[in-house]
Homo-oligomer: A and B are copies of this chain.
Amino acid sequence: MSTRVNNMDSATKEDYKPQDGPIEIKNRHIAEMDEDVLYHIALGTRSHDLKDMFRDIKFVCFGGSPSRMKKFAFFMVDQLKFKLPAGQTLEDIAHGSDRYVLYKVGPVLSVSHGMGIPSLSIIFHEIVKLLHHAGSSGVTFFRIGTSGGLGMVPGSVVITDEAVDGILRPYMELATMGMMIHLPSFLDQDIVQELYSLAEKNDHFQTIVGKTMCTHDFYEGQARLDGAFCDYTKEDKMMFLRRIHEKGVRNIEMESLCFASYCHRANIRGAVICVALLDRLEGDQISTPHDIMEDWQSRPQILVARYIRKKLGIH
């Protein structure tokens, strides 16, 4: 099956149901290679026994910041009641590279992806290849991130039901071999609802479901007034943000479109859960104190931990 979808009528959001099964590589060249060096995480099929290391992986949690993803790994140690032997701790498996971090807690991988689609794209390719070489199956991917919210209390959590680009297109454009290819960004709606059902009434934060706008730029791409370049007015900005809010956009970040479209291509169940660090209808700058920010950033992690515990039968 070709993964080049130019005719958007050939599939709909409702049709899309990722299947459990082994992680497959949509690239027949990989099987012909003597060695596959996963350059940006400093692992490889000859230098490492990837089956032994990663075969049991069932959940991959991606997030932008390396230190946040390290903290998430230790949070999972607690949440999964994972027993680290006396005198041992987690280490960054990708320590041979300074591009990304990679921590493993039983069946959970915690991976940093840096900022923006290109940075996420590289690690996504390499994690899919890693899990394929390892023989993993039935794996679910999460992006646990931060974002700017629209019309909500800062600290709220948004589960993405549709990722759109900076001009509201529900696909990612990819320039490849001299052509522009469109990759639809369908997300599995079942996991959206299941994650939403795990938000509890007495949570100290609000959880909502909505569209996520994904941009290539933090400043002008998100209609901020505080960048080094800005040739629009506050009125232009507010008109744009109100308009996308009316169209169902609830938060803006920089990776969901690629995450969604690559999960769709790879037939991997994937979900995007982000906390909103501010309400963009109220301002642009992020100046919340560090400790409050830390609490907010743990909120999407709490929902994902509930999902993983439920699937693993840990109460």
Binding site for B on A (CB under 8 A): 2-4, 25-30, 33, 35-37, 39-40, 44, 64-68, 98-99, 114-119, 121-122, 124-126, 128-129, 132, 165-168, 174-180, 215-221, 223, 225-232, 234, 236-237, 240, 243, 254, 262, 265-266, 285-287
Indicate if the CB atoms of A177 and B116 lie closer than 8 Å. no
> Which residue among A29, A165, A174 has the maximum number of chain B CB atoms within 10 Å of its CB?
A29
Excluding A114-B114, A116-B117, A119-B119, 20 further A-B contacts by CB distance (< 8 Å) are A2-B231, A25-B228, A26-B231, A27-B225, A33-B226, A37-B286, A68-B98, A99-B115, A117-B118, A121-B216, A122-B217, A128-B228, A165-B175, A167-B175, A175-B217, A175-B221, A176-B232, A177-B223, A229-B262, A229-B265
> Which residue among A39, A234, A236, A240 has the maximum number of chain B CB atoms within 10 Å of its CB?
A39
In Å, the complex CA distance between A221 and B115 comes to 18
**Complex: chain B residue closest to A239, CB-CB:** B177
Indicate if the CB atoms of A218 and B121 lie closer than 8 Å. yes
Q: Which B residues lie within 8 Å of A286 (CB)? A: 37, 39
- Are A229 and B3 CB-contacts (below 8 A) given A119-B114, A122-B218, A240-B177? yes
Indicate if the CB atoms of A67 and B98 lie closer than 8 Å. yes
Q: Which B residues lie within 8 Å of A26 (CB)? A: 228-231
> Which residue among A126, A166, A216, A240 has the maximum number of chain B CB atoms within 10 Å of its CB?
A216
In Å, the complex CA distance between A120 and B223 comes to 18
Q: Which B residues lie within 8 Å of A126 (CB)? A: 228
In Å, the complex CA distance between A112 and B285 comes to 22
In Å, the complex CA distance between A237 and B27 comes to 13
Indicate if the CB atoms of B176 and A223 lie closer than 8 Å. yes
In Å, the complex CA distance between A217 and B216 comes to 13
- 13 residue pairs of the A-B complex, CB under 8 angstroms, read A26-B228, A27-B225, A29-B234, A36-B285, A37-B287, A66-B98, A122-B219, A125-B227, A125-B229, A167-B175, A176-B232, A177-B236, A177-B240
What is the minimal beta-carbon distance from A258 to any residue of chain B, in angstroms?
A: 9
Q: Which B residues lie within 8 Å of A177 (CB)? A: 220, 223, 232, 236-237, 240
**Complex: chain B residue closest to A26, CB-CB:** B229
Q: Which B residues lie within 8 Å of A168 (CB)? A: 178
**Complex: chain B residue closest to A290, CB-CB:** B96
6 nearest CB pairs, A to B: A116-B118, A166-B175, A27-B230, A128-B228, A176-B220, A29-B225
What is the minimal beta-carbon distance from A211 to any residue of chain B, in angstroms?
A: 15
In Å, the complex CA distance between A19 and B216 comes to 28
In Å, the complex CA distance between A197 and B221 comes to 38
**Complex: chain B residue closest to A123, CB-CB:** B115
Q: Which B residues lie within 8 Å of A221 (CB)? A: 174-176
